[in-house]
Amino acid sequence: MAEAFPPVVDEPHGTPSDPAVTHGVEDDSGAGHGPEPTAFLLDATGWISVAMIVVFAILLWKRVPAAIGRALDRKIASIRQQLDEAAQLRAEAEALKAEYEAKAALADAEAATMIERARTEAEAIVRQAEADAAALVERRARMAEDKIAAAERAAIDEVRAKAASAAGAAAERLIRERMDAGADKAIVDATIAELGRR
């Protein structure tokens, strides 16, 4: 549908306040305009309207609106496909997120189990070390006690040996002092007589 455009009206180029008018340029605003030029009974506005109708007719004849519609349909289909792909990617991302969260939870549980196992093993090692240290201390104490007892026995034996030696030396000295040759002969004779009786 052609739109009617208002006719173009030439404005007067000068006004009384215009410097060109005040400097002696003649004012032709009072002169009358002749009729608008026409061709085939159409003025400029009519020809513009006809041109617009022809352009719209060519667009319709070439099926430009249908082509535009098909292009828009293709664009809509492309956008819909991109949205479907985005939704699929989002679903895959959520699935991966859930999978990684499950793996992280499993890893946390395994880490907690490993920490608990390590703590139990460490406590067992500490208990075993304490038991081994106590056994070692007891064994060393027993060995020390045995060494002390052996040293005491050796000292007692040495004291006894020295005492016996001293007693023997003292007895020998006493015998020498108290016994003379006649007493020795009597002891020897008594001993021989005793042997003869056996």
Tens-place pLDDT, residues 180-189: 656 666 776 7
Q: How far apart are CA 138 and CA 89, in angstroms?
A: 71
Tokens of 57: 């007719």
Q: How far apart are CA 163 and CA 49, in angstroms?
A: 157
Look at residues 10, 2, 71, 81 and name the one whose alpha carbon lies nearest to residue 42. 2
b/e per residue 66-83 (b: at least 16 CB within 10 A): eeeeeeeeeeeeeeeeee
DSSP lists the bridge partners of residue 42 as 39
- Model confidence at 82: pLDDT above 70: yes
Give residue 143's pLDDT band: very low, low, confident or very high (50, 70, 90).
very high
Q: How far apart are CA 95 and CA 89, in angstroms?
A: 10
b/e per residue 173-192 (b: at least 16 CB within 10 A): eeeeeeeeeeeeeeeeeeee
Q: What's the average model confidence in pLDDT over 45-62? A: 78
Give residue 39's pLDDT band: very low, low, confident or very high (50, 70, 90).
low
Tens-place pLDDT, residues 99-139: 999 999 999 999 999 999 999 999 999 999 999 999 999 99
Of the two residues 187 and 30, the one the predictor is more confident about is: 187
Q: What is the mean pLDDT of the chain?
A: 77
Q: How far apart are CA 174 and CA 168, in angstroms?
A: 10
Tokens of 128: 């075993």
CB-facing half-sphere around the CA of 36: CA atoms within 13 A: 13
Length in residues, the chain: 198
pLDDT for position 172: 74
pLDDT for position 17: 46
pLDDT for position 40: 64
Q: What's the average model confidence in pLDDT over 69-81? A: 89
